[in-house]
Amino acid sequence: MANEEELYALKKKLSVLSSKRGRHTELITVYIPDGYDINKVTSKLSEEQGTASNIKSRTTRKNVTTALEKILQELKLFKQTPKNGLALFCGNVSEREGQTDFLLETIIPPKPLSINLYRCSQKFVLDPLYEMLEERETYGLIVIDRRNADIALLKGTSIEILASLDSLVPGKFRAGGQSAQRFERVIEGMAQDFYKKVGEIATNEFNQVKDLKGIIVGGPGPTKNDFLAAGHLSTELQNRILGVIDIGYTGESGLDELVNKSKDILAEAEITKEKEVMNKFLGHLAKDTGLVAYGEAEVRDALNKGAVDILLLSEKLNKKRITLLCPNCGHTEERTVDKVPNLVCPVCGSPMQLVKEKDLIEDLTELAKEVNSDVFLVSNETKEGQQLYGMGGIAAILRFKLQ
């Protein structure tokens, strides 16, 4: 399963790639699925080189063939397709006509790729990788009426049906008298048996899902409420219900409708998780418990002492951690910067050289990983997230007080 560090690194790369445009149809995207023979891809790209020689525009022809050659050279570094597959992006991304600025990005995705693709376009094809970012959360879905029920999982944008059940509950009995009343009691008993069966299967299936984020229940009419009122879901799962939605169908159409009508609930669930961890931090801060730290220097010190339980980083944080070396006297120093400066050595006055550069979020995440701290990337879309960014974008909830 992809961790926060891998997903953040992927998100950062996709942000750069999505901003690039070719002046013509000359940006190349290659997806190699998990387990696919890399030699077949090499042969295919070699054939594309021959096809590219027929492009009428000399500039476009040159840019496409050069990009293909760079990708082929890159593929020589791999004896076989890496686990999870491989994605390659290459092309001239210069904004000025007649100039070249070739970008080559190779990504081993954090989750298995299933798509086999070669595309030459004015922009890179990024949707398969963006879907991996969306698939971080898994939700349970139950769609039910008196006749049918479907139990499924929502993973990103995909719905996986776990079970489909048909009841034997007949429709309403129209005749009057005692027979009708007796028959209604029989029908109600059959309905309760059906609810019990759905509850047992849902409980069994959902309990096997690690990190299930919540459950959404839907269906036409009052049946969904009757099902929940019957109490056949475990108490733990009942507490995870995020919403009960009116929909017109059951089956696959009903599941699709349920997801479409639950977008606000799903967005709110993500925001709620963010609010909870931020409110925990702000609560400690307000009570002056000594179990929080904020600001890079204070948090970095806490990380080095193994005191950080949860590291909170604003996704809007856009700084670099650099290491500088003086080639004359050997003096080195580390600092956090917005952009790499031109500096002179404070010891001998010679120009300093950049020897290491890393994204600040990646740097702090690696430190957190070394001391088994959890990392929480906080968006800037909530009031709490904006508060974190206003405090410098770096904070921590501590395991113990620091002296």
What was the pLDDT predicted at 215? 94
Sequence letter at residue 123: K
What was the pLDDT predicted at 324? 93
* 327 CB-near residues (< 8 Å, 6+ apart): 350, 353
98: confidence class by pLDDT, cuts 50, 70, 90: confident
pTM: 0.56
102: confidence class by pLDDT, cuts 50, 70, 90: very high
Q: Under DSSP, is residue 107 helix (H, G, I), strand (E, B) or coil?
A: strand
What was the pLDDT predicted at 379? 79
Name which of 274, 130, 282 is nearest 213 in CA terms.
Answer: 274
Tens-place pLDDT, residues 291-322: 999 999 999 999 999 999 999 999 888 899 99
Name which of 194, 202, 191, 192 is nearest 238 in CA terms.
Answer: 202
Q: Are 286 and 316 in contact (CB under 8 A)?
A: no
Q: How far is CA 146 from CA 181, 194, 224, in A?
A: 18, 8, 9
Q: Is residue 53 predicted with pLDDT exceeding 90?
A: no
- Dist CA 89 CA 15 (whole Å): 13
Sequence letter at residue 215: I
What was the pLDDT predicted at 210? 78
Structure tokens, 96: 């000025």
Structure tokens, 90: 């290459």
DSSP letters for 20-81: ---SSS-EEEEEE-TT--HHHHHHHHHHHHHHHTT-S-HHHHHHHHHHHHHHHHHHTT-SSP
**Ranges of H-type helices in 56-206:** 58-75, 127-134, 177-206
Tens-place pLDDT, residues 320-367: 999 999 999 999 999 999 888 888 899 999 999 999 888 898 899 889
What was the pLDDT predicted at 46? 92
Q: Are strands 138-144 and 212-219 parallel, antiparallel or unpaired?
A: parallel
- Dist CA 111 CA 128 (whole Å): 11
Q: Is residue 186 predicted with pLDDT exceeding 80?
A: no
Instruction: Determine phi and psi for 205, rounding to 5 degrees.
Output: -70, -50
89: confidence class by pLDDT, cuts 50, 70, 90: very high
Tens-place pLDDT, residues 202-258: 999 999 987 788 999 999 989 899 999 988 898 889 999 999 999 998 888 999 899
Complete domains list, the chain, with CATH: 4-132 (3.30.960.10), 138-261 (3.30.420.60), 271-398 (3.30.1330.30)
Tens-place pLDDT, residues 256-302: 899 889 888 877 666 677 778 898 999 999 999 999 999 999 999 99
End-to-end CA distance of the chain: 37
